[in-house]
Amino acid sequence: MPRVGIAIVNYRTAGLVVDCLRSLDAEMRARGDCHVIVVDNNSGDGSAERIADAVRAEGFDWATVLPLDRNPGFAGGNNAALRPLLAETPPPDYLMLLNPDTIVRPGAVTALVDFLEAHPRAGFAGSRLEDPDGTPQRSAFRFHSVASEFENGMRLGLVSKVLRGSIVAPPVRLETYRTDWVCGASVMIRRRVFDDVGLMDERYFLYYEEVDFILKARRAGWECWYVPASRVVHLEGQATGVTGAKKALRPRPRYWFESRARYFRQNHGPLYKALADVAWACGYAVYRMRRRLQRKPETDPPGLLRDFVRFNFLGLS
């Protein structure tokens, strides 16, 4: 049976992590040769101790807690787990990134492994993410582009129809299919991908790191697939507040703008980034005027356009 290593990064979500580990327990015991490393990104609230206590109390002998003395973000936290996993003898055949705000349905891990076993050019297999009631979430995506930035800012049906081939988050599909990238909340990665492209770029604190990583792997010849046979409940936004129901309650954090800027600049160059910035800002400015005229409720973080302009055009933090 192929060996699997799983990385979970915690920051002040100990209760969610314990629930996630409980959802993994039966499958970890059935597989018999899995190792889960829970990295605590210096939560400072006793999270590491609470999780370690639960691991001991509930007999999760397949799990290890690794506390860090700083918070390196999503990429850095995952890399802190991936390094010791990759150094094991023998190393896992597959490594999984799993969010703390997830509940793994029975067989979800094995479904991803089985798919990768059957498709040797597939480097990534992403789960179907869903709400607790089973409603699917969009978790298979296209790469970001100037056209997708304009569509995302404009939010107009006619524009979206014309640019439907560029929409980053297309409607959910029921079948297994190849896609550009999948959500890092639940994704299985072939170990050989790390041999080819290394670990994730730790200059990303949060967001865009998995897109960047999967794009590098694609350029190295690896495929990415959406595998809905693997079902994982995703309590979206519980860990960050940037997505999900909480996203409109507070301004978008600086690290989101920094990650977006790094992704475009690093993968497509400064001119392309500038075009993407202009496309989104123009589209979003038109959307805001239309929203006010139509008296639609506000659903975006406060000051989103102001902060976008300040960061991308004025160079202000």
Vertex 170: Cα angle to 172 and 304 (nearest 5): 120
Strand partners, 36: 6, 63
The per-residue pLDDT for 249 is: 76
User: From the first residue on, what is the mean pLDDT of each consecutive set of 10 residues in the chain (317 residues)?
Assistant: 96 98 97 95 97 98 98 98 97 98 98 98 98 97 98 96 97 97 98 98 97 98 98 83 60 96 98 98 96 91 95 81
Question: What one-letter code names the amino acid at 69?
Answer: D
Structure tokens at 22: 């409980």
Torsion region of 283: left, alpha or beta (phi above 0 gives left; psi -120 to 50 gives alpha): alpha
Q: Whole-angstrom distance between the N-terminal and C-terminal Cα of the chain?
A: 50
Q: Which CATH class is domain 4-137+172-246?
A: alpha beta
* Three-class secondary structure of residue 222 per DSSP: coil
CA dist 257 and 248 (Å) reads 16
The per-residue pLDDT for 247 is: 53
User: What are the sequence ranges of the domains in the chain?
Assistant: 4-137+172-246, 147-168+248-317
The per-residue pLDDT for 176 is: 98
The per-residue pLDDT for 315 is: 80
Phi and psi at residue 105, to the nearest 5°:
-70, 155
Strand partners, 233: 103, 130
pTM listed for this prediction: 0.94
The per-residue pLDDT for 236 is: 86
